């Protein structure tokens, strides 16, 4: 299902974890993706970005993301448009919003939370299609044994986001070749 509120603005912003693409509809922030992640919407390649400062939601998103990356903010206060996707996907994305900072949840626990305990794989697929990475915290979902599992932006970014939220030194290595602010 497509959003009933089409995208009105797209911006590209730099982050310590690589360039981000932001999209806004008339209702709010409708997309946040790493530029090189899996599952980018095909229409994104055809939209010319505008400066984030030219759109109030994209400007607020950029400012809040920058504060998040330097450890000055734990959560986000933005209007969100999660109307894209299926009813099932939207239920998963709404459930992701309930995972507190510095906490995690397994895919199985998330499936139980939405009342679909047998739908663990479908929950994983919906998490992978989350259109609002970071803001809708899919990086807080782990394997049943607590292991890091799939992340459309790459496991090194998932690790970096979790470390950042745990308050670890932002300059400490988070992977063999990636540092949070390199």
pLDDT in tens, 103-141: 999 999 999 999 999 999 999 999 999 999 999 999 999
Please report which helix (H) or strand (E) contains residue 11, including its range. strand 7-13
User: What's domain 7-69's architecture?
Assistant: 2-Layer Sandwich (3.30)
Of the candidates 97, 15, 129, 111, the one whose C-alpha atom is nearest the C-alpha of residue 61 is: 15
Domains 7-69 and 87-166 share a fold: no
13, 127, 138, 162: which is the annotated catalytic residue? 138
CATH architecture, domain defined by 87-166: Orthogonal Bundle (1.10)
Q: With residue 160 as reference, give the H or E element that holds it.
A: helix 155-166
CA distance 9 to 156: 29
**Prediction pTM value:** 0.86
Is the four-CA dihedral 175, 61, 96, 166 of positive or negative sign? positive
CA dihedral 26, 11, 46, 35 (to 10 degrees): -120
Q: Is the pLDDT of residue 182 over 60?
A: no
pLDDT of 79 reads 97
- Reported as a single tens digit per residue, the pLDDT across 146-179 is 889 888 898 999 999 999 998 865 444 443 333 3
How far is residue 159 from each of residues 3, 96, 141, 176, measured CA to CA in Å?
31, 17, 11, 11
Is the sign of the CA dihedral 151, 157, 163, 164 positive or negative? negative
β pairing state of 105-106 and 141-142: parallel
Is 106 catalytic? The answer is no
Provide the token pair at 156. Answer: 């090194």
Please report which confidence band the pLDDT of residue 181 belongs to, taking 50, 70 and 90 as the band edges: very low
| Model confidence pLDDT, tens digit, residues 25-38 | 999 999 999 999 98
Locate the domains of the chain by residue range: 7-69, 87-166
Q: Residue 48: which pLDDT band, with cuts at 50, 70 and 90?
A: confident
In this prediction, residues 72-78 reach a mean pLDDT of 94
- Please give the pLDDT value at position 5: 53
């Amino acid at each position: 299902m497509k959003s009933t509120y089409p995208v009105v603005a797209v911006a590209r912003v730099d982050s310590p974890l690589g360039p981000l693409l932001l999209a806004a509809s008339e209702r709010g922030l409708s997309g946040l993706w790493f530029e090189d992640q899996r599952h980018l919407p095909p229409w994104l390649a055809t939209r010319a970005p505008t400066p984030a400062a030219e759109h109030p939601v994209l400007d607020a998103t950029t400012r809040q993301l920058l504060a998040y990356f330097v450890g000055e903010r734990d959560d986000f206060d933005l209007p969100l448009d999660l109307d894209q996707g299926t009813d099932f996907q939207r239920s998963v994305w709404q459930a992701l919003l309930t995972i507190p900072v510095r906490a995690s949840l397994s895919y199985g626990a998330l499936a139980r939370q939405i009342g679909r305990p047998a739908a663990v794989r479908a929950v994983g697929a919906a998490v992978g299609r989350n259109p609002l990475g970071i803001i809708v915290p899919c990086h807080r979902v782990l394997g049943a044994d607590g292991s890091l599992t799939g992340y459309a932006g790459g496991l090194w970014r998932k690790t970096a986001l979790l470390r950042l939220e745990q308050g670890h030194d932002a300059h400490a290595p988070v992977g063999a070749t990636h540092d949070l602010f390199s």
